[in-house]
Amino acid sequence: MNASQRACVLAACGLFGAWAALAQDCSIPFTVPMFEVRAEMDILYGSATRYNGAMQELRLNLYKPVGDGQTERPLLILIHGGGFFDGDRNDLNATCQDLASKGWAAATISYRLDFYGTWLLGSPWAYDPAEVVRAAYRAQQDARGAIRFLKGRSAQDSTSTTNVMLMGWSAGAITALHAAYVDDPSEKPASCYAIGNVVHFLSQYARPDLGPIEGYLNQNGMTDDVLAVVSNYGGLLDTSLVSSPLDPALYMYHQSGDPVVGCNHQQGLWGMPLGVGDNYPYLYGSCVTDLRVQHLAPAPGRYFYHPYTGNEHAVHDPAAIMLESTLFLRDLFCSPQLAGISVAPRVLLEGPYDASTGLMSDALRSLGGFPLTEPYSAMGYVHTEGGGNEFIQPTVLNTSGPDAIVDWVLLELRDANDASVVLASRSALLQRDGDVVDADGSSPVIFERGPGPYYIAVRHRNHLGAMTAGAVALDAAPATVDLTIASTATYGTEARKPVVGLYPAEVLWAGNVDFNTELKYTGLGNDRDPILFAIGGSVPTAVLNDEYRMEDVNMDGVVKYVGEGNDRDPILQNVGGNVPTNTRQGQLP
């Protein structure tokens, strides 16, 4: 990728200018439990008319961190699922508790439930599709009322009126999407005006006009605008409701074969038995909504879609998806600023490097286990100054050719006066041609630090790291630091390995299976034994296929202890080849 392309990415859609208006000091990571929590339960936020004419009190539970020192906490409003006839706000109390312990203010809301069924069967059997649409419409009206209510008491709760976000599951996700993207009176569904009565044998029930899209609750001068929506297996009545420039921002998760809310354009409850979904409306699930959003070409950071191959109406890994979605939200109001410094290093890893092509293998990106969130935090590495938990969209891994992604790497900026002191770190992506790029798969890596001289170190999970021999002057313009050429001096002695061939290069030493500072073939804490243990420990000819593992030294997706292309021999070669008791020391101070 050339410099002009990188500059274009940075400037795309006025990204940094738009984010700057929302930026704040994010010394709190919002991903780690840090605080005690105070909960206020059963807060009345309004009353509204149900489907059958009865009045219903609407309540919410609010959770806030204690001792966080924030005066404008980000506010996350959670909306439960249940098919618009079932579910309860208390189902999400534990999630709110967890979020508040990490610095968020989190509310879980009730909304009007239920609708008319057939003359014989009640909900979830529906009288007609209009009944379900009307139930969803009432729900999104209530959600808007809750947003205005909570904004109106922001001073009391020390919450932001700008960084307000919705998160929903199933019917709650449908509610959140329509509350966020139905922003014009003309988008009110026809079935939500006065329509024909429900007729149950000898009884009839009126279906009056349901009122404006924003509802009537809490008209307190506050808007119901939100910064973003997280939709967990939700859907839209019409994808045209989402329009450029994708405001609010959007995160979506959906399993491809979801039988309740289809991922494609499907009737609600399409996969459920006994004809329960026969009278449900059709919805556009995340698979087709994604096509609409991609057509709008949203600015980087405004959109994230996590498709998953499965057939459940659920999240396959709730903890991972919650982390991924909250990181997406956090980065909307805690975004890197253009005023920081940026660096565009180049580095090659010995394991996957092919000197006949000048490129590294990208075999790992096609593995199902390739991590969408950086792996180094889970390995025990402690990031500094805001780094850590970087994540990627799955589409980043679709790029092929020289810019295809090889793996995650670590970038460290070290003190110009003491190279052993790490001032800032970021996880980044490595392309086949050696470019190190940010998590969007193309941009230079940005650090939120002032201009100045820094040592630049690059590390990898199973290669020894290397660092520039001297401090490099960094500012907002991306600085190219090419560690693949001998003329770029590195700190220490033999920090890189020279490789000969059609495309000779300097590469990082392979074989550091335990991610420490030393290559060892024998003895306590050696790098060879973990390879044997990974394949079972007793049969050295066994192999482990298609897994993302540190023991995969050559990074071909296969862990092998013996035979051609095994992962043990490179370690022996790199400690000297003839004396297995030798070691090779990493050169990072």
Instruction: For 148-158, write each residue's pLDDT tens digit.
Output: 999 999 999 99
Instruction: Give the single-character DSSP code of 299.
Output: P
Is the pLDDT at 587 greater than 60, yes or no?
A: yes
Distances (CA, A) of 432 to 336, 459, 476: 26, 16, 25
H helix intervals, 276-353: 286-296, 318-333
Average pLDDT over residues 252-262: 97
Average pLDDT over residues 234-259: 93
pLDDT score recorded for residue 15: 33
Amino acid at 497: K
* Structure token digits, residue 344: 């565009």
Is residue 304 within 8 A of residue 251, CB to CB? The reply is yes
Name all contacts of 118-127 with Cβ < 8 Å and 24+ positions apart: 118/200, 118/279, 119/199, 119/200, 119/201, 123/83, 123/84, 123/85, 124/83, 124/85, 124/86, 124/269, 124/276, 125/276, 125/279, 126/279, 126/280, 127/198, 127/279
Looking at 58-62, 255-259, 285-289, 449-453, which range is the least confident one? 449-453
Is residue 89 within 8 A of residue 60, CB to CB? The reply is yes
Record: fold of 24-333: Rossmann fold (3.40.50)
Looking at 375-379, 388-392, 417-421, which range is the least confident one? 388-392
Per-residue pLDDT tens digits for 356-368? 999 999 999 999 8
* Structure token digits, residue 297: 């070409």
Is the pLDDT at 17 greater than 70, yes or no?
A: no
pLDDT score recorded for residue 389: 84
Q: Which of 518, 471, 516, 519 is nearest to 491 (CA)?
A: 471
Residue indicated by tokens 């149900």: 50
The Cα–Cα gap between 237 and 282 comes to 7
pLDDT score recorded for residue 450: 87
Is the pLDDT at 2 greater than 50, yes or no?
A: no
pLDDT score recorded for residue 11: 33
Is residue 341 within 8 A of residue 450, CB to CB? The reply is yes
Per-residue pLDDT tens digits for 281-306? 999 999 999 999 988 888 878 999 99
pLDDT score recorded for residue 23: 37
Q: Considering Cα of 169, then 174, then 179, then 183, what sign does the dihedral take?
A: positive
Summary mean pLDDT of the chain = 92
- Stronger pLDDT, 44 or 395, i.e. the higher one: 44
- Stronger pLDDT, 449 or 354, i.e. the higher one: 354
* Structure token digits, residue 285: 């699930």
pLDDT score recorded for residue 20: 33
Q: Is 282 helix (H, G, I), strand (E, B) or coil?
A: strand
Distances (CA, A) of 384 to 413, 416, 459: 10, 16, 15
Is the pLDDT at 6 greater than 50, yes or no?
A: no
pLDDT score recorded for residue 395: 85
Per-residue pLDDT tens digits for 61-109? 999 999 999 999 999 999 999 999 999 999 999 999 999 999 999 999 9
Per-residue pLDDT tens digits for 423-447? 999 999 999 999 999 998 988 998 9
The Cα–Cα gap between 184 and 273 comes to 37
* E strand or H helix that includes residue 79: strand 73-79
Distances (CA, A) of 524 to 173, 513, 518, 569: 52, 14, 12, 18
Per-residue pLDDT tens digits for 199-218? 998 899 999 999 999 999 99
The Cα–Cα gap between 5 and 21 comes to 25
pTM: 0.64
What percent of the chain is predicted at pLDDT more than 70?
95
pLDDT score recorded for residue 560: 97
Average pLDDT over residues 577-585: 93
Looking at 16-20, 309-313, 350-354, 509-513, which range is the least confident one? 16-20
